[in-house]
Amino acid sequence: MAELPVSYMKATREVTGFWGAYPLGQELSPGAYGRRVKGQFVADGRLSDFPGYDGTAFGLTEAAARSPAETWLSEGTRVEDVGVSAGGPALPVSGKLRVQFSHAEQMLFGCRNGRVWSFQNLRKVKDHLLSLYKQGQWDRRDILVTHVMKVDAAWVFYSTRGGQWVEVSVSVTPGPAVAADLLKAAIGSGKLEIGYGGLAASGYASQLPGPGTPLFQAIKISRWPRPHPGIVLRGPGDFDEATFGDPDEPDEPDEGQR
């Protein structure tokens, strides 16, 4: 199966609020820092490598999973039944589903036991970054990972053209009647396979079969930090969200080049 295009990271941000890790199996954690290279996040080290790191103040926390399985779909993405056996109450259901996309850059993201892993106090971390920046130890192009979604397994289905689709085989006991619910149930507790036994796809699919960190959020110091530190805004402050997924977007120039 073809490799996911980097642009999937953006589509993931649209539907989940998090950027998709690239590759899906990339190991990430809050506190990792790095740069954007060809639209991807490339880690260089950890915040703890810098002086003044306070392990207590910058501690991490892991929220409980909101549900055993979560799925996010772009508008215009449908899950269709293309050959599911008729089950019944308490009976297993298995068969084939099709994820159908109406337009390019649509996606379905599903994960098992998604838990948000983040700093306990992001404000303190931001203050530390600003202080490192003022001391000349932090480069404005550096990106800090702030939130990560830890999962037990994850699946991504993605389109680069309208009309693309991906077939998956599912097996769930007992099985819900609606195709989208069936897919979610398979993600949560059942069996879900892509790319085997007569399955076909014109779109992209990728899976993380075991525990991993397929989603993340990251920040960087804004190009023009506010010159009045006493002001606390009800809007964007000294940081911007780091953006990914566009390999052609030029990486920011060095400070001296501006």
Partner 1 sequence: MTEETPDPDKEIRRLLEVMHDPERAPLRPPAMLGRLAELYLQRPGDERAAQARKLAEGGLAMVTRDDPLYPKLLHAIASALRAMSAPPPGSLGHNGRAARLDRDAWLLSVDPNPADALNFARRWGDWAWSREVWDEAAEAYEGATIAGHRIVLRSPPGILNRLELLSGQAPLSLRSAFAYAQQQRLREAVTVLERAGDLLSGVDSQLEDLGRLAAMGQTGLRDRLMAAYGQAAEHAADPPDAYGRLPASRQQAQARVDAVVWEIRAVPGMARFATPAGWADVSEAAQHQPVAYLAATNKGTVVLTVMPGARTIRRAIVSLTMEQIWDGEVRAFFGSEYERSQADPLATILAALQRIGLVTATVRESVGDDRPVLLVPLGMLAQLPVHAGYAAFPADGTRPARTHFWFHPSHVSYASSARRWLASQDRAGLQRGDSALVVSNPVPLPPAFDELELADFERDAVARHFPVTALPGRDATVDAILAALPGAAIAHLTCHGVIDRRERYTGVLIVADQRLLTVQHLEHLSLSARLVFLAACTSGMSALGVAQLASVPSSLIAAGAAAVIATFWHTDEMATLLVVSRFYDLWQDGSGRTVADALGQAQAWLASSPAAVLRAAVPPAALQTTAGRLLADCPDQEVPFGHPWFWTPFFVLGA
| Count of residues making up the chain | 258
The only residue of 198, 234, 253, 256 in contact with partner 1, by rule CB under 8 A: 234
Q: Which is nearer to partner 1, 122 or 199 (CB)?
A: 122
CA–CA separation, 124 vs 224, rounded Å? 20
Q: Does 64 bind partner 1 (CB under 8 A)?
A: no
- Cα–Cα distances (Å) from 230 to 124, 129, 223, 224, 238, in that order, read 15, 17, 19, 16, 12
Residue type, 11: A
Q: Which is nearer to partner 1, 47 or 192 (CB)?
A: 47
Nearer to partner 1, 20 or 190 (CB): 20
- Give the rounded distance of the alpha carbon of 68 from its chain centre: 17
Q: How far is CA 67 from the centre of its chain?
A: 17
Q: How many CA atoms lie within 13 A of 177 on its CB side?
A: 2
219 scored as a contact of partner 1 (CB under 8 A): yes
What is d(CA 170, CA 187) in angstroms, rounded to the nearest whole number?
A: 9
Out of 52, 174, 210, 236, the residue judged to bind partner 1 by CB under 8 A? 236
Q: Is 218 in the site for partner 1 (CB under 8 A)?
A: yes
- Minimum CB distance to partner 1 smaller for 89 or for 228: 228
Q: Which of 226, 249, 251, 254 binds partner 1 (CB under 8 A)?
A: 226
Q: Which stretch binds partner 1 (CB under 8 A): 42-50, 116-124, 150-158, 196-204?
A: 116-124
Contacting range for partner 1; rule: CB under 8 A; set: 46-54, 162-170, 192-200, 228-236: 228-236
Among 235, 250, 253, 256, which residue interacts with partner 1 (rule: CB under 8 A)? 235
Instruction: Give the pair of three-digit tokens for residue 239.
Output: 């940081």
